[in-house]
Amino acid sequence: MTGIDVAIVGAGPYGLAAAAHLRGAGVDVRVLGDPMSFWRSMPAGMLLRSNWTATSIADYRGPVSLDAFCASTGARFNRPVPLARFIEYGTWVQQRVAPDVDRRPVETIEANEAGFHLALAGGERLDARRVVIAAGIKPFPNRPAFADGLPPGLASHTGDHQDLSVFSGAKVLVVGGGQSALESAALLHESGAEAEVAVRADHLNWLHGGKYQRRLGRLSPFLYAPTDVGPMGLSRLVAVPDLFRRLPRGVQDPLAYRSIRPAGAAWLGPRLQNVPITMARSVVSATERGGGLRVTFGGGDERTADHLLLGTGYRVDIARYPFIAPSLLARVRRVNGYPVLGRGLESSVAGLYFLGAPAAFSFGPIMRFVSGGWYAGRALTRAVTGRTTPVQPDAEARAVVTISDAS
């Protein structure tokens, strides 16, 4: 049985950010997970909504930034960043900060007297003083009640598909008004499907990228943070989780919603010109009919479709992580599925940390985006080591880069 200081469960952007900062500070770390697996499961052809700086893992400057990747590899690509190139970049980061990643699934995490006990697929057991859960949102798809009981061949979530061209020639009704729904509809149309979008709201919100930043010129950095989360002014507030989390909950919640409300990137507009978008329509039922579906809206309108694609986002509930033992889960203080976290993103169980979207209730909307890993990696490292600036790695850790504490 192996014992280590910190086990990181998850090898996506947050797990890699944590590994970069912790190993840069000389912490004994073991990373467990399939690198960038969630991103590799997303529909081919997607583009990232975030801007250039916010697409960086661990920090937007320094040796594992997106700029460093391009300089090191000679990679050149357009903006917005294509999903395939982001996966290449994430793999490049993994090879530098966690070249020894253990890809075996974690089957169970339990607490013990020394900290935590992890059981891995294949039978190996691992003891760790601390556990960092950075396992992403794959287990959290939000599937509305109207889709209950429908087989996968008739209704599925956008997160279920890596290749939307399988719907070529089919009539697909996409439900949702955010980036995932709108971009999926564009990809469906471009793949030869007959796509339509049904949106519950009476209008769509569009994100205009750097248009306003360019107009502001030198004033832009004072109103927009490089994290690229939130509108003008609010962007700066949510980029400082230690400040945001001190606001009253009644202030936090509306500000968080304003920062992450359903919206599509403006560059999607031209790609949706030939895709019908029906506003102010809530689906109340969907039933099988002749090998397809009959979909009924709140006003009584109906549609027929071959498939219902749910672009309805994700709803965090850490109880849906299959590897957290019930006895451990019962000790984690939670609100609406989210763990309540304190300093360093530590849960109510000492030594157990949650990164990424599960941290959004405690540290704000930035935790739902790749750029939230900048803060999370630094805050976690401070909590574990007591140091604010990672030290240079020793000779035995030359494969691991050092990340600056710059924000």
Regions of the chain where pLDDT drops below 50: 390-407
Mean pLDDT of the chain: 91
| Predicted pLDDT at 214 | 65
| Predicted pLDDT at 211 | 64
pTM score: 0.92
- Give Dmax (Cα) for the chain: 69
Helix (H, G, I), strand (E, B), or coil: what is residue 112?
A: strand
| Predicted pLDDT at 213 | 67
Radius of gyration of the chain (CA): 22
Residue 383: DSSP 8-state? H
Tell me how far CA of residue 187 lies from CA of 161, 179, 271, in angstroms: 12, 12, 9
> Pseudo-torsion of CA 24, 29, 33, 35, nearest 10°?
20
Q: pLDDT digits over 295-306, tens only?
A: 999 988 999 999
The dihedral built from the CA positions of residue 46, 161, 93 and 225, taken in this order, carries a sign that is positive
Q: pLDDT digits over 79-99, tens only?
A: 899 999 999 999 999 999 999
CA-nearest of 102, 101, 76 to 89 is 76
Omega before residue 80 within 30° of 0, cis: yes
Each residue of 104-139: b (16+ CB within 10 Å) or e?
Answer: eebeebebeeebbbbbbeeeeebbbbbbbbbbbbeb
**Fold match between 2-140+315-397 and 145-205+262-310?**
yes
Q: 339-348 — which CB contacts under 8 Å span 24+ positions?
A: 343/379, 343/383, 344/379, 344/380, 344/382, 344/383, 344/384, 345/376, 345/379, 345/380, 345/383, 346/383
Q: Does domain 145-205+262-310 correspond to CATH entry 3.60.110.10? A: no
Specify which residues 309 forms β-bridges with: 156, 174
| Residue found under tokens 């960038």 | 36
| Predicted pLDDT at 400 | 40
| Predicted pLDDT at 242 | 95
| Strands 29-32 and 2-9, bridge-based pairing | parallel
Query: Where along the chain do its domains lie?
Result: 2-140+315-397, 145-205+262-310
Tell me how far CA of residue 14 lies from CA of 90, 292, 362, in angstroms: 11, 40, 16
Q: Does domain 2-140+315-397 correspond to CATH entry 3.50.50.60? A: yes
| Predicted pLDDT at 232 | 85
| Strands 206-207 and 264-265, bridge-based pairing | parallel
